[in-house]
Structure 1
Amino acid sequence: MTPEWVKDAVFYQIFPDRFYRGLGPAGQPAPVQEAFEAWDAPPTLRGFKGGNLWGVIEKLDYIREQGFNALYFCPIFSSTANHRYHTSDYFQVDPILGGNLALQRLVEEAHRRGMRVVLDGVFNHCGRAHFAFQHVMENEAASPYRDWFHVYKFPLNAYAKHANYAAWWNNPELPKFNTANPECRAYLLSVAEYWLQYGIDGWRLDVPNEIDDDEFWREFRRRVKAQNPEAYIVGEIWDEASRWLQGDQFDAVMNYPLGRAILGFVGAEMLDKELAAKSGLGRLESLGALACHHRMEELFRRYHWDIVTAQMNIMTSHDTPRIFSILRGELERVKLAFAMLFTLPGAPTVYYGDEIGMAGGHDPDNRRGMIWDETRWHLPLQQTIRQMSALRQSLPVLRRGRYQYLYAQDAHLAFARTLESSSVVVTINASSEPWRINIPLHGLWPRGEQATDLLSGKSGRCVGGYLEDGVLEPFSLAVWQTLD
């Protein structure tokens, strides 16, 4: 069983350093503001912009108004990096972000608004500043922490080009933990338990496939679910994930394959494949409607349905170029991609700023400071996401209903979502020309009902087992429902 609340979730991903600089309570230590990069300046690999959790608290109402009810944060623990994947202290929220008090207040304020909070857990590796690694650096073989890592030779050359110890992607800044060591293992599992006591609602697990130990993740699940049976455990697995989705490890994974299918279909010839090639979206390719359907249906059949409806459905993130840039600034295509995302099984996930059409290429360009000047927002895109989130929340069939194929040809796709006696039909026109709908219903709505598009209010007819008479404008989507 996966957490019920996730089926109703619409996630908003936040990169804390780049979201908003907020003011903490008086008397709280604050970093020197002059050290921060200018907010609107191009981001750099090493620079900090000074966004913090107090800023997220200040913007919770904005986030809620956009239709999001769950927050997924990139790492927030003490680190020497702006992205904080170089963890130095797993029991301390980075002071630049506001410290532990800021997280406590954030969880309280989010829950008060009916919003969930999921943190990023980096358990495969830490930063060089982590106390255990520092201890090994200073004491070498005499350190009681030497077996917490995979050391090939002493002394450690932690600042050389190539490390003489195991490190993530051979990066000396990121020494890899030895999770087979009982003390190291117990330490990491205690981290997972500790922050659940703060009321967080789950963990997103960074590169969990690189901890090649299923029993570690089974124990992780047991510990987490003992603290909170409804806690969400979602892994960063970019492709086939059956190994981790047998019910004894993760609840779900970040569903990038679904996102790639959507982008391939909606983007077609406009995809910036060169931009995507060097990112996790490297296999991004143009897809016709039928190929897109086959990709999606295979994903929906691959895992247990309870997992499918709990997947973190994601198109872009801090690890990819932004969707606005991948689709070459074609706003209508961006709108359609997000509209489609909200009609499919699983929890839609939006990277901060994508709701207003922020651009961004490769890291660090995809991690720009959030634009708060409303005159620079793409308001039609923002309205699309608000509308689709509201529609999803109003229709249980869009959150839990089964996927049923109806029609696919060229750039036209139609499918149904069915739940018990209720159903909706989704029609998608990913072409530059209007589409007059005439699609088979395959047994749905056999009594010749009139159908209404819940987005535009336009009408269609069900005649002889077909939905017809509706017209879809270029790069648009309709959600049809029959009158009671």
Structure 2
Amino acid sequence: MPAWIQHAVWWQIFPLGFVGAEPEAVAGAPVVHRLPQLHAWLDYAVELGASGLALGPIFAASTHGYDTIDPFRIDPRLGDDADFDALIEAAHARGLRVLLDGVFNHVGRGHPAFQEVLHRGPQADRAHWFKLSWPRGTAPGTEPDYACFEGHRQLVTLDHDAPEVADYVAAILDHWLARGADGWRLDAAYAVPRRFWAQVLSRIRADHPDAYIVGEVIHGDYAGIVRDTGMDAVTQYELWKAVWSALNDRNLFELAHALERHDGYLDTFVPLTFVGNHDVTRIASRLSDERHLPHALAILFTCGGTPSIYAGDEQAFRGVKEERVGGDDAIRPSFAATPTELAPYGWPIYRLHQSLIALRRRHPWLHRPRARQIHLANAQLVLALSGRQLTGTHQTEAHQPLLIALNLDDGPALLPVPGARRVEVGDGDLVPGDDGAARVSLGPHGWAILSA
């Protein structure tokens, strides 16, 4: 893992939605220079506390960006190479790293290699790039059956056993890293054979050792995938689900179990953590009780990982994902021209993000802490967090641990926080117990992060 990622906090944008691009590309349409609209938001991201800009798909595609037709070209609905270069320069000038989003499990039906297959049949030069099944007596213009991504016929799966496909993907990764990108999110990484990633990423590391590579993995053997592929990290969907589910059900045993598993992952790699992204219902809509939004954020910024904030979540945007055509529109909206046009009611949550990120900056070991349960009930949880550094097979602990205390109940709670000296963030009151042990008094649905 590159050293800089230990201090990274991503602010994730879905560019096509953010800038209000057309939902479908039109062949031959002129380039529209919309990427420069992001410049007005870079200082906002820095003031939030982010150190990186994670971009959704920006390459030429037919619709939503994951049906790529030319990964060497900026989507003309967004701009061109000059717009990309200017964005990289503006981000880097503010200390923001830039993460790109690439899909290499499949391409769109409009990709030239697949269009060649449709026109020339089995004789197409790149027919072996795909998993095709041809009917007998095939003539040019006959459409084959083909593997596609999760039943979506517009997304044509690549044959990852073809050496030319590995060359193609490696060339794409290298091209944009050489132009100034700092890393890649690999979309649908779970659908691609591990040996393919191992082959491609070993080549990329040779020329770009400081690049950060994170794979989208929904479930499965996270640690094994990282080990076998050479990725730095995978997306922590398991913890994402546990956070909102436990808060909604007032079942913090579920969260404690997920955090225990998460703690085990930190022995081998550091996941990308989040409570929202471009593929899921926004956290402010997902939670059944809006009073628990701070609890979700407190967990995100104190558990180990590389945190990612989906643009708008820091303002408590609402949006529900639906399983239908256009079902992502509500969670991928267009943004105003500048942050000054944001509604006033979202700024308290923005400031809460700032406070929690500032806490993380003061305690950089939160990238990879060790968590220990102090108190656990259905509606209350206290965790002690201490830093750890891995040096070979040895671990060392930090000397200034933190404690996180959560109360989901309708009534107040008095919870043990041994060794706590002050409340860093939150709404609790530190009180001494009769036995001299520290306790924190939390109001209904209260929370606090304390330092020892």
TM-score by structure 2 length?
0.87
Correspondence for 2:424: 454
Contact 1:397 1:423 in 2 (8 A): no
Give the Cα separation in 2 of the matches to 1:298 and 1:375.
38
Q: Which of 276, 283, 293 is 1:323 aligned to?
A: 283
Provide the rounded CA distance (Å) in 2 between the counterparts of 1:478 and 1:438. 12
Aligned match of 1:429 in 391, 404, 407?
407
Report the 3-state secondary structure (helix = DSSP H, G, I; strand = E; otherwise coil) of the residue aligned with 1:97: coil
1:138 aligned counterpart, secondary structure: helix
2:78, 2:203 → 1: CA distance?
Answer: 27
Displacement of 1:222 after TM fit? Answer: 1.0
The one of 99, 104, 116 aligned to 2:85:
104
Q: Partner residue of 2:274?
A: 314
Q: In the superposition, relative to structure 1, how do residues 185 and 397 fare at CA in structure 2: closer, same or farther (>3 Å)?
A: closer
In structure 1, the residue matched to 2:215 is 235
Residue deviations 1:189-210, cap 9 Å, x none? 1111111101211111111222
1:215 counterpart = 2:182: no
Corresponding residue for 1:172? Answer: 153
Distance 1:148 1:465, change over 3 A: farther
Query: Counterparts of 2:178 and 2:434 in 1: how far apart (Å)?
Result: 57
1:225 aligns with 2:205: yes
Q: Partners in 2 of 1:394 and 1:156 — Cα distance?
A: 63
Deviation at 1:253, TM superposition (A): 0.7
Looking at structure 1, the residues matched to 290 and 33 of structure 2 have their Cα atoms a distance apart, in angstroms, of 28
Q: Residue 318 of structure 1 aligns to a residue in which SS? A: coil
Q: Distance in 1 between matches of 2:79 and 2:151?
A: 31
Report whether the alignment pairs 1:395 with 2:394: no
Q: Deviations over 1:107-140 (max 9, x none)?
A: 2211111111111111111112212112222211
Kindly report which structure 2 residues correspond to 1:281-360, keeping only aligned pairs within 5 A, or say none.
Answer: 288-301=251-264, 303-307=265-269, 310-328=270-288, 330-360=289-319
What's 1:260 paired with?
A: 241
State the match for 2:390 in structure 1: none
The whole-number CA distance in structure 2 between the counterparts of 1:481 and 1:137 is: 63
Partner of 2:5: 6
Matches of residues 134-283 of structure 1 in structure 2 within 5 Å? 134-153=115-134, 154=138, 164-212=145-193, 214-240=194-220, 241-246=222-227, 248-268=229-249
Q: State the distance in 2 between where 1:169 and 1:10 align.
A: 31
* Separation of aligned partners in 1, 2:403 and 2:212: 30
Cα gap change, 1:432 to 1:369, in 2 (>3 Å):
farther
Give the letter for the 1:354 counterpart.
D
Query: How far does residue 306 in structure 1 lie from its aligned partner after superposition?
Result: 4.9
1:335 CA drift (Å): 2.4
Would the aligned equivalents of 2:197 and 2:230 in 1 still touch at CA under 8 Å?
yes
Residue 67 to residue 51, structure 1, CA distance change in 2 (3 Å) = farther
Structure 2 contact 198–228 (Cα < 8 Å) conserved:
no
Task: Report how many residues are paired.
Answer: 422
Inter-partner Cα distance in structure 1 for 2:229 and 2:434: 47
2:46 aligned counterpart, secondary structure: helix
User: Cα distance, 1:462 vs. partner?
Assistant: 7.6
Residue 73 (structure 1) aligns with: 55
Is the Cα–Cα contact under 8 Å of residues 167 and 175 in structure 1 kept in the other structure? yes
* Deviation for aligned residue 1:356: 1.0
**Alpha-carbon offset, residue 152 of structure 1:** 0.8
Quote the Cα distance in structure 1 between the aligned partners of 2:131 and 2:141. Answer: 11
2:334 to 369, 385, 390: 369
After TM superposition, give the deviation of residue 385 of structure 1 in Å: 0.9
Question: In terms of mean alpha carbon deviation, does 107-116 or 454-463 score higher?
Answer: 454-463
Deviation at 1:473, TM superposition (A): 2.4
Distance, in Å, in 1 between the alignment partners of 2:426 and 2:150 is: 49
The one-letter amino acid of 1:380's match is P
C-alpha separation between the residues in 1 aligned to 2:146 and 2:366? 49
State the alpha-carbon separation in 1 of the partners of residues 141 and 174 from structure 2: 31
**Counterpart among 110, 124, 129 of residue 105 in structure 2:** 124
Q: Is the 8 A contact 1:20 1:51 kept in 2?
A: no
Structure 2 equivalent of residue 476 of structure 1: 446
- Which position in structure 1 is the counterpart of 2:348? 380
CA deviation profile, 1:343-389 (whole Å, cap 9, x unmatched)? 11112211111111211112222222235532354222112111111
The CA distance in 2 between the partners of 1:3 and 1:178, in whole Å, is 30
- Residue 46 of structure 1 deviates from its aligned partner by 4.9
Give unpaired runs (5+ residues) of structure 1.
22-35, 38-44, 269-286
1:19–1:51 Cα contact (<8 Å) kept: no
Residues 375 and 416 of structure 2 are in contact (CA less than 8 Å); yes or no, is this contact kept in structure 1? no
* Equivalent pair of 1:156/1:165 in contact (CA under 8 Å): no
- 120-129 vs 414-423, which moves further: 414-423
* Alignment correspondent of 2:40: 58
**Identity in percent:** 30
12 and 156 in structure 1: CA distance in 2 versus 1, 3 angstrom threshold: farther
Measure, in 1, the Cα distance between the counterparts of 2:448 and 2:353. Answer: 14
SS at match of 1:59: helix
Aligned to 1:224, the other structure's residue is in SS state: helix
Cα distance in 1 between the residues matched to 2:62 and 2:210: 32
Indicate the residue corresponding to 2:29 in structure 1.
Answer: none
Distance 1:465 1:252, change over 3 A: farther
For 1:51 and 1:459, the matched residues in 2 are separated by 54
* Aligned counterparts, 1:395-414, within 5 A: 395-414=363-382
Q: In structure 2, how many angstroms separate the alpha carbons of the residues matched to 1:460 and 1:223?
A: 57
Post-superposition Cα deviations, 1:389-424, rounded to whole Å, max 9, x if no partner, equal 111112223233322221111211111111232211
CA distance in 1, matches of 2:155, 2:141: 13
Give the residue type in structure 2 aligned to 1:17. L
Asked whether the 8 Å contact 2:251–2:379 carries over to 1, the reply is: yes
State TM-score, norm by structure 1: 0.81
TM superposition shift of 1:248:
4.6
Matched, 1:20 2:27: no
